[in-house]
Every structure is written in structure tokens, then in C-alpha cells.
Structure 1
Amino acid sequence: MAPVGRMHVVPSGFLYAGRFDDVTNQRQSAVLYLALNADAFEVQTADTRFATSALFVGPGVRKRIRAKDSPVVSIDISPTHRAFPTFARGHPAARAWPRAHFAALQDTLMAFREWRLAPAEADRLYEQAVDLAAARLPAAGPLDPRVREVMRRLRGQHGLSTQELAEAVNLSKDWLVHLFQREVGIPLRRYEQTLKLQAAAAYLRRGVSLTEVAAIAGFSDSSHFSKLWKQHFGFPPQRSFMGEELFVDPMSSLPCVRASTDGLDTLVPTG
């Protein structure tokens, strides 16, 4: 059976092109959906139904996507991406965008879908799409340096409590939670979950069991990992890590992995 689509994972998001038979997800990422032809696809949120060929969806929005007969591109912009604040601050809802705004990328996106684009070229395509999408929104100012420091600490060590993070930047716990939400656009703990999912994604198709991936990515157990993965992507992790329905580009390196003193791999996203 031919794969339903192709996924290319980058350190702070991913690019997917293919079918959406009937997928429901609720990502902390901002997401852009683009039809690869003029056919409309359907997206249902809590209060709006869209039939469109281009749609931007802000972080945290639960949505159901149906595009069985025509290929659709999904561009996932993670909270760890440099441009994420532009997409997250004040833009939480779903909104239809003109597909023509992305016309310059249509041929390259189709080449990606048809496996005619090498992984390095897919890296560039992803960033071009993000930059083009960000150009439609007001630019966000620089992050508060205390928030940047909290992000750095979260990338460097699993399991830090909110209190520990707050003390590190001389804030109360409540004020840190408020400041992080305001600056980044998602809650602090949702950001930490994103880091763990990115760490797990580094092991796509590398022969590592889901139990091992869950443990080294910092999840309490494989059940918790599977639940969050399905909520984020709309399908269980088995489909990504072991299934043949979805083709995932091999990652040329593991930017999230460093060796720990006890000999086990520790996954730390660096995006």
C-alpha cells in the first residue's frame, strides 16, 4: 500500500504533504494548511467550519481535517521555532488565507510530495514557507530575557519545577506562569511537553521501542507519551515510528541527543 503522505521533521516543526482522510488534533504549534491544487479541503473547529484551500490555525485549537481525495500540505511551526511568537501572540483562532500568497512555493511543495525533493532542500522549503506565512502577520518583538533563560534551562534539563524555574530568574511562580504565557503564547508546561515530543521525534524509524523513547524523552510512561503524541499529531505514535502508512524522511543527525554520565542517551531539543 502506498504511503498516505510524506513527513519531513525539522528541529522546530515539520512539513507534511499527503492525504488527511479524517484527522483530529490539538497541537501547541501554529499550523498552516495548503491545498496542492485548487480543490478545497474541510476543517472543523469548535465553532467554525471552513471549506478552503489555505488555512492558518493558531496554537491550541482543536480541529478536524478532511481532505481524502486531494493532497494537502501541513506546515507545523513549533513553540521552539524562532518565528513562533509572531504566529501565537494574539492570533489563536483559525482563519482562511489566500492560497495565492504561497503561489511561489507550489511547484516545490508538489516536488516534495512526489519525493523529488531531497531532505536538505525540504529543510529550506520549510523555512521559506514559514517566512512567507509570517510576512502576513505583524512582527513580534523580542522575548523577555527572563523567558529566554527559562527556555534555555528547559532545553538543558528535564523535570525542573515551575518553582525552580521562577527562582532562577528571580520571579514568583505565578508571575513566571503569567509572563511566559504572555510572551510565548502558550502555557509554560505546554512548552515543556513540546520539547519532549520533539525529543521523541528524533527517534522516528530508528528501531527504538516506544517504551524506550518515552523514557529517554522524559515522559512518565509510554501511555502518557502515546496520549500526547496522538493529541498533537492526530494519530498514534506506532503509525509514525513503525507503520508503513506514513513515509518519514530519515533525519541526517540527532540534534536533540547528547550522552549522559550514566551511559544512556538523554534527548535535549536544541531548536
Structure 2
Amino acid sequence: MPASQAPVLLYLWDKRTFYLSPFAEPLQLSQAAAMLLIALDGELRIHCRNDTLTCRSALLPAGLSLSVDTGDSRVAICYLDVFGEDHALLRSRMRGQRGQVHFALDEEAEWVSDFDRLHLASASPDEVWLELERLINPQGRAPEACDPRIARAVELIKADVACNQPIEFLAEQVGLSVPRLTQLFRQKIGIPIRRYRQWHRLFVTSVGVARGMSLTDAAMAAGFTDSAHFSHTFRSIIGMSPSAALAQPRGIRLFAG
């Protein structure tokens, strides 16, 4: 299948999200999760503060705001795990660094070739997951243990995504003061609790759409007040409108695990 006819790929897992598509306009990103970007057909131009970086692959931390001009290239975007395990594994395999952005993956050509193959084959979710595991963690290293208090706070947020549990409740449940939980959460996750809650609600909404719900129903079930609230949050974090991401003329292969 020619690349111009291949559908957009969007696979949603609790640990990672994988999206592969060309983009008609630059992405305006406000990072709510660490991200790996790989251009399949050209180069990326990354604008962060007053600096511009041109590269084929980039590793971006959570909490960073920037824009990415993808040109006419298809781009593989992998949102990495929230606890930073993937980011730590990949950081040591990037050959360059500019500020908080790491770039130029070791074996970059292999990643480009593998993602191109997955796209043209409209690969199954299992194939994509196994390939991501192989590429991100080729040695099969066990992840470092996360601070159990922060892991518990994340678990509580996920358990009742539609409810805005007060930070005082979360702090009491994990045995921390509010200031200490706020500080430790941002230190370990890279973003404030509120931003993480918004990010997870986007994920839950997208999963609902993948499982057949309407966008409005999925957004409401995830805790957004209405579809406009969802669209605003989606654009502010993902850098494009939901329709630009999901309403693709070539079709979209959408899977939620």
C-alpha cells in the first residue's frame, strides 16, 4: 500500500499511546506526557522558546511547551509512560541534547524503517505494542520502582476520572501534606496534578470513542462538562483539534487496549 493511502494509526494503551499520521499544520504542544517523535519522510523543525532545532527524531519531557513543524512528513508520535520509565531508557540512546530536548536516536534509520512498515501494513495492535517494547527496551530491563505514594495518587485519579477529587483528599489518602504531594507529584510525573487529570481524561475519552461511544458521550463520561470543554483541552495539550486527529480522509485505525 502506498504511504499516501495508508490510514492513520491510533493505538491507546494505559502505558503508552501511539499515533502515526502526516499533519497539515504545525503542532502546538503543551506536554502532559513525555513524547518520542520520529519523522518518517523528512525532518522535524522544533521551536522551543527562542531556539529552533532540525532533526529526524526527538525525545520531549513532560511539562514542556513548544511547536513542531512536520513539513509533509508522516510522523510517529509515542506518548510514553507517565512514571518516566520509557523516557529514562530512551534518554541515554539519544546522541544530542538542546535544552530539555534530546534528539537523534541511535539506530534512527531502523526506527524509521520499522514504523514505515507498520504504517503501510496497517499493523495490528499486538504488532505495534511488541515493536515498541523491542525498540524502547531492547534489554528487557525491569522498571525502577516509582514512589508508592505518587503511584497511589495516580491510581486514585484513574479510579474516579469523572470526579474532581480535591487535592486534600488525595494527600490524606497517600499520607502527605498538600504542599508535599503537590511538589512530589510534579517532581516525579513532570506536570501538576490538574494537568495530569486533564491528560488522563483525554485518554479515557479517546478510549470511549474507540469502543463505539459518541465523542460527546465519551467526553461527558470522562468528566468534561461538554464537548467544547473536551475540544479546548484536547487542542491545548495535543496541539490540534480532535477532528484534525480523528476525522482523517484516508480513514483511521483506532484501537483501545
Q: Same fold (TM over 0.5)?
A: yes
Q: Give the aligned partner of residue 63 of structure 1.
A: 66
Q: Give the aligned partner of residue 256 of structure 1.
A: none
**1:173-252 equivalent positions in 2, closer than 5 A:** 173-241=178-246, 243-245=247-249, 247-251=251-255
Corresponding pairs, count = 245
The unaligned stretches of length 5 or more in structure 2 are 92-96
User: Does structure 1 residue 51 correspond to structure 2 residue 57?
Assistant: no
Structure 2 residue corresponding to 1:16, chosen from 7, 19, 30:
19
- Structure 2 residue matching 1:203: 3-state secondary structure: helix
Indicate how the Cα distance of structure 1 residues 35 and 125 shifts in structure 2: closer, same or farther if over 3 A, else same.
Answer: same
Q: Give the aligned partner of residue 94 of structure 2.
A: none
Aligned-partner Cα distance in 2 for 1:4–1:24 = 23
The unaligned stretches of length 5 or more in structure 1 are 254-271
How far the C-alpha of 1:166 sits from its partner, in A, is 0.9
Indicate how the Cα distance of structure 1 residues 161 and 93 shifts in structure 2: closer, same or farther if over 3 A, else same.
Answer: farther
- Aligned AA (1:150): A
Aligned-partner Cα distance in 2 for 1:3–1:233 = 22
Indicate how the Cα distance of structure 1 residues 112 and 3 shifts in structure 2: closer, same or farther if over 3 A, else same.
Answer: closer
Structure 1 residue corresponding to 2:173, chosen from 160, 168, 186:
168
- Aligned AA (2:38): L
Indicate how the Cα distance of structure 1 residues 144 and 92 shifts in structure 2: closer, same or farther if over 3 A, else same.
Answer: farther
User: Does structure 1 residue 159 correspond to structure 2 residue 160?
Assistant: no
* 1:4-60 alpha-carbon deviations (Å, 9 max, x no partner): 8433322233222332332222121111122225x3221111221111112111112
Indicate how the Cα distance of structure 1 residues 4 and 94 shifts in structure 2: closer, same or farther if over 3 A, else same.
Answer: farther
- Structure 2 residue matching 1:106: 3-state secondary structure: helix
Residues 119 and 249 in structure 1, CA contact (< 8 A), matched pair in contact too: no
- Aligned AA (1:154): I
Aligned-partner Cα distance in 1 for 2:155–2:71 = 40
**1:21-32 equivalent positions in 2, closer than 5 A:** 21-22=24-25, 23-32=27-36
Indicate how the Cα distance of structure 1 residues 3 and 116 shifts in structure 2: closer, same or farther if over 3 A, else same.
Answer: closer
* 1:221-252 alpha-carbon deviations (Å, 9 max, x no partner): 322211111122222123344x2347432326
Residues 34 and 87 in structure 2, CA contact (< 8 A), matched pair in contact too: yes
Residues 43 and 71 in structure 2, CA contact (< 8 A), matched pair in contact too: no
**What RMSD, in angstroms, separates the aligned Cα atoms of the two structures?**
3.1
**1:108-119 equivalent positions in 2, closer than 5 A:** 108-119=114-125
State TM-score, norm by structure 2: 0.80
Aligned-partner Cα distance in 1 for 2:212–2:168 = 37
Residues 21 and 66 in structure 1, CA contact (< 8 A), matched pair in contact too: no
- Aligned AA (2:232): K
Aligned-partner Cα distance in 1 for 2:84–2:187 = 16
Q: Give the aligned partner of residue 105 of structure 1.
A: 111
- Structure 2 residue matching 1:150: 3-state secondary structure: helix
